[in-house]
């Protein structure tokens, strides 16, 4: 009789809990199921109540209790429906923790053997790798995806090189035909683009060759200078190479391509030589920013890209009443397009102020003298080449033996290798150095101190640098030598200043970092210091392409590779002429920091006033 009463009471509690579960009162539901479990002894009835209480816990988002009841359901009777429903609701972390608990119990009971680390041979590892590859290639048609991935770039190189060779031969056969020549040029440029892409491949590809890719992109730009894709890929590839590697690639480009070594008459090439007179400008004002703006204006007027425009030189005007005034000579390479050259000359003579003027140039150089503008078309087609390699270098008869010299036994102490001077060579008082080899940095040209120059002890040159430019004075150039008798060669990683007639070399060396020859100029005023042979070299600044916020990385430690380093803290750093794209984030960050500093200063002043009032009140 008592057992029947207990069962009736348990059924009553179960129904009341089910009603609470349907009404959403989950706490009352699982409490009712708990009281019912204490009254029911048989497994079948208990498994059902476990299942219902697990559902109540599950709807109340109490997953741990729900999982325990689901396991209780499975242990009381062969029913895993609720266990599976709970597992589907668990997160990965909760499920993994439950599995780890079960694995730990099995390990403690000795049912499962603990894992151990085994040393395997290289042959076994190689065999395992082959087995993994075989499993991944199972069911794939031959050749497999790994093989195709490894050989697609190689086959692409072969096909692209064959296309380049065939198109170069077709290019020579086209000759001066105005109809077919532009079409062939476009096809050759596209073939070089495909060849470069095949050499670039993917970043992790085992046969990736950035040097050959850069060579292909540069050769493609020779046939299509306006290709944005070629210029973009060339910039990306240069960013992955060092300066010495880029120099080696540029040196290899001197070698003719295809059958260029055979006797041939190349197509006619044209160039527009422009002379611009700025009566109010000075050579000091014709800096890197002014050269970049003028070069962009000429390229825009000619419908060319920036690499097709270069500076041919700068000379000063001879004016008794004023020392200002310069004449800038600019060359625009139009290639085989004679119509573009004629259009540029006509447009410059009709309206030069609109094409080459503007507020930016007028602010830096002053107004241009439009009446003195000169522009002419020059035929720069090379003469008929002979049957020998023009890039083979000088003959053996031109090479002179260099006598052996004793090795240097003295240390290269900085101030025995150079000295700090003014631009005219006068003595410069060294500023007070900051500790820990630190130096001041200026982002505004207004606050700059007196310019400090580093003069080499051999008397060959005197130089200084800013963020985007290197100023170099060739000290051994005689003042009475006319500029037309100087042969100045500006290459990306090499410069040379020599006498055009006698061949005497005044200055030559390999640069520590790269320059942009098209935006670099030289001038010779027939005087001393900055009035002598002055070279204005535009820095390439490839370091800023990788990390534009690390401005100190573009600072040259030396001019030539064979020079000694200039001490880092010898003179201040002038970053005022960095590109606008680099300065804009820096100035924005400075504005934000200034705002924070002003708030902190205001809070500090307020605290000091309150402290003073409290002290005064106490007094």
Q: For position 391, what pLDDT does the model report?
A: 40
- CA–CA separation, 413 and 432 (whole Å): 20
Structure tokens at 578: 């960095």
Share of the chain above pLDDT 70, in %: 78
Q: Rounded to the nearest 10 degrees, how much is the dihedral formed by the CA atoms of 248, 254, 255, 259? A: 150
Q: What is the C-alpha to C-alpha distance for residues 477 and 548, in angstroms, rounded to an integer? A: 37
Lowest mean pLDDT: which of 279-283, 434-438, 449-453? 434-438
What does the alpha-carbon distance between residue 612 and residue 600 come to, in Å, rounded to a whole number? 18
Per-residue exposure over 425-459, b if at least 16 CB sit within 10 Å of its own CB, e if not = eeebeebeeeeeeebeebbeeeeeeebbbbbbeee
CA 110-115-116 angle, 5° bins: 125
**Given this model, what pLDDT does residue 472 score?**
92
Helix (H) or strand (E) holding 414: helix 414-417
Chain segment 579-610, per-residue pLDDT in tens: 777 777 777 777 888 888 888 888 888 888 88
Q: Kindly report the three-state secondary structure assignment for every residue of 348-359.
A: HHHCHHHHHCCH
Q: How confident is the model at residue 457 (pLDDT cuts 50, 70, 90)?
A: confident
C-beta separation of 232 from 220 below 8 A: no
- Tens digit of each residue's pLDDT (9 = 90 or more) over 236-250: 888 888 877 887 887
pLDDT tens column, 265-315: 446 788 889 888 888 887 777 877 888 888 888 888 888 877 788 888 788
The single residue listed with the structure tokens 């880029």 is 246
pLDDT in tens, 328-340: 888 888 887 788 8
Backbone angles phi, psi at 570, to 5 degrees: -75, -35
Query: Are 285 and 362 within 8 A, CB to CB?
Result: no
- Separation CA 357–CA 161 (nearest Å): 45
Q: Which of 219-233, 253-267, 460-474 has the lowest mean pLDDT?
A: 253-267
pLDDT per residue as tens digits for the range 199-215:
887 777 777 888 888 88
Tokens 């009404």 sit on residue: 23
pTM above 0.75, yes or no: no
Residue owning tokens 């794939």: 140
Alpha helix segments (H runs only) across 139-209: 145-174, 181-200
Task: Residue 190: name the closest of 160, 162, 210 by CA.
Answer: 160
Asked if 557 and 449 count as a contact pair (C-beta separation under 8 A), the reply is: no
Crossing angle of the two packed helices 43-59 and 26-39, in degrees rounded to 10 = 160
pLDDT bracket for residue 473 (50, 70, 90): very high
Report, as an integer, the average pLDDT of 16-33. 82
Helices 63-76/92-109 angle, 10° precision: 50
* pLDDT more than 90, % of the chain: 4
pLDDT at residue 35 greater than cutoff 60: yes
pLDDT of 136 higher than 80: no
**And the tokens for 236?**
């990306």
Task: Count the alpha carbons within 13 Å of 245 in the hemisphere toward its beta carbon.
Answer: 13
Show Cβ contacts of residue 112 under 8 Å, excluding neighbours closer than 6 positions: 103, 106
The number of beta carbons lying within 10 Å of the beta carbon of residue 329 is 16
- Look at residue 619 in the predicted model and tell me its pLDDT: 47
């Amino acid at each position: 009789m008592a057992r029947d009463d207990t069962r009736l009471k348990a059924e009553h509690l179960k129904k009341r809990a089910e009603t609470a579960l349907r009404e959403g009162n989950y706490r009352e539901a699982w409490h009712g199921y708990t009281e019912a479990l204490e009254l029911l002894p048989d497994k079948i009835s208990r498994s059902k109540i476990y299942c219902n209480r697990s559902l109540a816990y599950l709807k109340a988002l109490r997953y741990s209790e729900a999982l325990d009841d689901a396991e209780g359901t499975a242990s009381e009777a062969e029913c895993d429906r609720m266990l599976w429903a709970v597992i589907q609701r668990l997160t990965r972390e909760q499920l993994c923790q439950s599995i780890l608990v079960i694995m730990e119990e099995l390990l403690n009971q000795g049912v499962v053997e603990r894992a151990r680390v085994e040393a395997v041979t290289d042959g076994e590892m190689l065999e395992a790798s082959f087995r993994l590859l075989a499993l991944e290639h199972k069911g794939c048609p031959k050749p497999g995806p790994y093989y195709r991935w490894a050989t697609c770039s190689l086959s692409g190189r072969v096909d692209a090189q064959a296309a380049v060779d065939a198109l170069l031969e077709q290019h020579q056969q086209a000759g001066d035909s105005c109809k077919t020549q532009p079409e062939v040029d476009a096809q050759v440029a596209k073939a070089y683009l495909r060849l470069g892409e095949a050499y670039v491949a993917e970043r992790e590809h085992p046969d990736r060759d950035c040097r050959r890719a850069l060579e292909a992109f540069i050769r493609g730009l020779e046939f299509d200078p306006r290709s944005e894709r070629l210029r973009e890929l060339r910039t990306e590839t240069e960013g992955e190479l060092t300066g010495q590697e880029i120099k080696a690639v540029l040196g290899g480009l001197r070698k003719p391509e295809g059958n260029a070594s055979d006797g041939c008459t190349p197509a006619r090439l044209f160039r527009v030589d422009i002379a611009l007179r700025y009566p109010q400008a000075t050579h000091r004002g014709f800096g890197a920013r002014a050269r970049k703006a003028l070069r962009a204006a000429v390229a825009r007027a000619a419908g060319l890209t920036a690499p097709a425009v270069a500076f041919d030189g700068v000379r000063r005007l001879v004016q008794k009443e004023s020392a200002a005034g310069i004449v800038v000579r600019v060359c625009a390479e139009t290639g085989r397009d004679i119509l573009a050259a004629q259009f540029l000359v006509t447009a410059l003579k009709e309206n030069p102020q609109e094409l080459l003027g503007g507020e930016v140039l007028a602010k830096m150089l002053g107004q241009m003298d439009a009446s003195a503008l000169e522009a002419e078309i020059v035929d720069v087609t090379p003469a008929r080449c002979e049957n020998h390699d023009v890039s083979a270098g000088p003959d053996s008869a031109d090479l002179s033996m260099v006598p052996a010299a004793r090795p240097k036994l003295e240390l290269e102490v900085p101030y025995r290798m150079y000295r700090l001077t003014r631009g005219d060579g006068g003595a410069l008082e060294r500023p007070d150095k900051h500790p820990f080899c630190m130096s001041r940095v200026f982002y505004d040209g207004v606050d700059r101190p007196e310019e400090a120059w580093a003069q080499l002890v051999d008397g060959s040159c005197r130089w200084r640098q800013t963020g985007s430019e290197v100023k170099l004075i060739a000290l051994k150039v005689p003042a009475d030598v006319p500029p037309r008798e100087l042969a100045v060669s500006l290459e990306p990683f090499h410069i040379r200043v020599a006498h055009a007639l006698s061949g005497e070399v005044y200055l030559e060396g390999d640069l520590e970092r790269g320059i942009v020859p098209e935006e670099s100029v030289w001038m010779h005023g027939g005087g001393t210091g900055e009035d002598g042979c002055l070279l204005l070299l535009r820095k390439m600044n490839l370091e800023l392409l990788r990390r534009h916020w690390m401005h100190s990385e573009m600072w040259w430690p030396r001019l030539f590779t064979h020079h000694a380093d200039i001490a880092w803290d010898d003179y201040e750093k002038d970053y005022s002429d960095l590109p606008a794209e680099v300065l804009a984030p820096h100035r924005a960050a400075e504005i934000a920091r200034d705002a924070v500093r002003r708030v902190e200063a205001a809070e500090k002043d307020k605290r000091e006033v309150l402290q003073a009032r409290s002290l005064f009140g106490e007094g």
